[in-house]
């Protein structure tokens, strides 16, 4: 056990498997006390079981850490409230909230149903808002009472949201919303001693294994570094959860394998200013020239595919 997060109390949602599991275990390994939250459903959100969350909590206890499990639905307002209360009731406080829970209902837009849209947006976007809102109440009350608050919110966005991926308009829209939520919440919550950051992770999980398989990515040899292992995401989460990260807020990080980068968001690029209202008929050549001079949209790996002659 290490002491980067010694004494910190953390909630990790969606922690029964994959990336969330690795985050919960690494936070515990760094000395944090953990509430392991997972509804225990299928990848599409159907069903539920307490077994995955309890298994991870027991794994943490077996390694000498302190953890409890929780099966509340983070997209339910009252359930999210019970989750935050569980941390406070069991450990006396809350310092870190890692919003990781999610589901997939991939479908091309022309075939997507309203339920497939609503279910994904609810779990990801509302499932980030609800626990955050309850946690913020706790930190705001502590701040107003004169306590020193050094709290952390770590959200989970996705390259599908900030760069775009075919077949995921619902998932991508929710994940883009989480990135924006992160930037705005960071500005609002700084006064209370709360930082807010997000990750866009790349890893092999239940939600990505079909995509990775379609790319023809082979499994590493036993003695090779597994760049797609979900546990590779956890060290950055543990550092962001620590006191060392107090000056970092409002950022979205790409993390995959051993690579970490800062996602640089929307910003004003090429521009033209007439100094007066445009006529619609004037804009054809103007807009086409602006687009021709502008940077292309980033690809799924976050890199901008510049033409060779622009390098």
Q: Report the C-alpha gap between 84 and 93 in whole angstroms.
A: 9
Task: Tokens for 130, please give them.
Answer: 């609800």
99 membership: H or E segment, kind and range: strand 96-99
> 158 catalytic, yes or no?
yes
Q: Which SS3 state, helix, strand or coil, does residue 44 take?
A: coil
- Find how far residue 69's CA is from the centre of its chain: 20
Q: Report the C-alpha gap between 166 and 168 in whole angstroms.
A: 6
Interior/surface letters 66-88, b for 16+ CB within 10 angstroms, e for the rest:
ebbbbbbbbbbeebbbebbebbe
* CB-CB contact of 12 with 47 (8 Å): no
Active-site pick, 158, 159, 160, 228 = 158
* CB-CB contact of 93 with 141 (8 Å): no
**Maximum Cα interatomic distance, the chain, rounded to a whole number of Å:** 71
DSSP letter, residue 278: P
Q: Report the C-alpha gap between 85 and 82 in whole angstroms.
A: 5
Whole-angstrom CA distances from 23 to 27, 98, 197 are: 6, 9, 15
Q: Report the C-alpha gap between 136 and 11 in whole angstroms.
A: 13
Q: Report the C-alpha gap between 211 and 203 in whole angstroms.
A: 11
Active-site pick, 157, 159, 160, 171 = 171
Active-site pick, 143, 160, 175, 242 = 175
* CB-CB contact of 219 with 275 (8 Å): no
> 192 catalytic, yes or no?
no
Catalytic annotation, residues:
158, 171, 175
């Amino acid at each position: 056990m290490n002491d980067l997060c010694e004494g910190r109390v953390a909630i990790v949602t969606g922690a029964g498997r994959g990336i969330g599991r690795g985050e919960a275990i690494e936070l515990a390994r760094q000395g944090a006390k953990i509430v392991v939250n997972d509804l225990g459903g299928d990848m599409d959100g159907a069903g539920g079981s307490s077994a995955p969350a309890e298994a991870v909590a027991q794994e943490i206890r077996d390694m000498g850490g302190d953890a409890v499990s929780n099966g509340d639905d983070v997209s339910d307002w009252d359930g999210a409230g019970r989750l935050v209360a569980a941390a406070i009731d069991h450990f006396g406080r809350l310092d870190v909230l890692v919003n990781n829970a999610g589901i997939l209902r991939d479908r091309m837009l022309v075939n997507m149903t309203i339920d497939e849209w609503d279910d994904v947006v609810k779990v990801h976007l509302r499932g980030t808002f609800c626990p955050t809102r309850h946690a913020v109440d706790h930190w705001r009350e502590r701040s107003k009472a004169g306590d020193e608050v050094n709290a952390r919110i770590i959200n989970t966005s996705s390259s599908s949201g900030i760069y775009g991926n075919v077949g995921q308009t619902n998932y991508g829209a929710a994940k883009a919303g989480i990135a924006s939520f992160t930037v705005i919440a960071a500005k609002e919550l700084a006064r209370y001693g709360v930082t807010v950051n997000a990750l866009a992770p790349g890893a092999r999980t239940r939600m990505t294994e079909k995509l990775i398989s379609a790319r023809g990515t082979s499994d590493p040899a036993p003695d090779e570094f597994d760049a797609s292992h979900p546990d590779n995401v956890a060290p950055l989460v543990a550092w962001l959860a620590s006191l060392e990260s107090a000056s970092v807020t409002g950022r979205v990080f790409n993390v995959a394998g051993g690579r970490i980068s800062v996602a640089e968001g929307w910003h004003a690029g090429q521009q033209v200013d007439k100094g007066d209202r445009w006529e619609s008929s004037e804009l054809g050549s103007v807009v086409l020239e602006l687009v021709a001079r502008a940077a292309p949209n980033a690809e799924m790996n976050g890199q901008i595919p510049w033409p060779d002659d622009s390098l």
